[in-house]
Amino acid sequence: MVIDFHAHIYTDDMAPKAIASVKRRMGVRVPGLGTVADLRGSMAKAGVERSIILPLAPLPKHVRPTNDFFLAAADGDGLVPFGAIHPFQEDLEEELDRLQAAGVRGVKAVPFLQSFYPDDPRCDRLYQAVADRGMVLLLHAGKVPEDLPEFFGTPDRFARMAERHPDLVVVLAHLGGWEMWSGVREYLIPAAENVYFDTAYISPSLTSAEACDLIVEIGADRVLFGTDYPWTDQAEEICFVEGMDLSGREKRMILSENAERLLFPR
């Protein structure tokens, strides 16, 4: 079984616009269409049993309507939604309660998109609320393939956040900091025993051997397979992990078992 812990979808109207915008701004290859139907087709082709679909909500006013779309898109099995959340929204606790009542197991926030530093004390309200509810918090970590003045979510800041909130279950995307992996080694690996890391969109920047070395340092029991669909091809990303010099047991942990333990305990 394979669980993709990091996939994105858009409405049928928004998907072509979102993909065209990314291609124009970042000049990257985009193999997927970003629609629910295309993701389902990709999963069937790649042998992905479940995809965790992750929303983006730049402003607090975007959170609830975005979550409504993701809740409607979820099928209770193959497509598993996380909710959008903004650390500075007024109704933060109420929205978490609404999501949890709908069966949502985690939420996503994006430092560079929502303009917050992960170690800002003002974010403690979010971290405590997520921890109190036994939910998972997934955060974009590191850079993006775009020249931005600041990325906000750096490994040193995540390390300080994790140290202050040891009861919070955190997943840092892109192996803890896209194109900031020296900082992951310096700050995050020593400090963040409560942190998980996903593999989303690392293949365009790291070789399989380089990614494998970092995963070994982190520990395969804390790594989750993620693709960042539609920005990468799910089947190709499975091959990327399968090609690593890891044991069969370690690959199973990454491709499904760690995600099962976090989200689908038996």
With 90 as the cut, is the pLDDT of residue 265 above it? no
Long-range contacts at 17-21 (CB < 8 A, ≥ 24 apart): 19/230
| pLDDT attached to residue 260 | 96
Q: What is the pLDDT of residues 187-220, one digit of tens each?
A: 999 887 789 999 999 999 999 999 999 999 999 9
Provide mean pLDDT across the span 208-235: 97
Q: Could you state, in order of their start, the residue ranges of all structural domains in the chain?
A: 3-263
CATH 3.20.20.70 given to domain 3-263: no
Q: What is the pLDDT of residue 191?
A: 80
pLDDT exceeding 90 applies to what percent of the chain? 92
Q: Residue-wise over 88-114: b if at least 16 C-beta within 10 A, else e? A: ebeebeebbebbbeeebbbbbbbbbbb
DSSP 142: B
Q: What is the mean pLDDT of residues 49-61?
A: 97
Q: Give the pLDDT of residue 215.
A: 98
Determine if the pTM surpasses 0.85. Answer: yes
d(CA 105, CA 133): 9
pLDDT computed for residue 104 by the predictor: 97
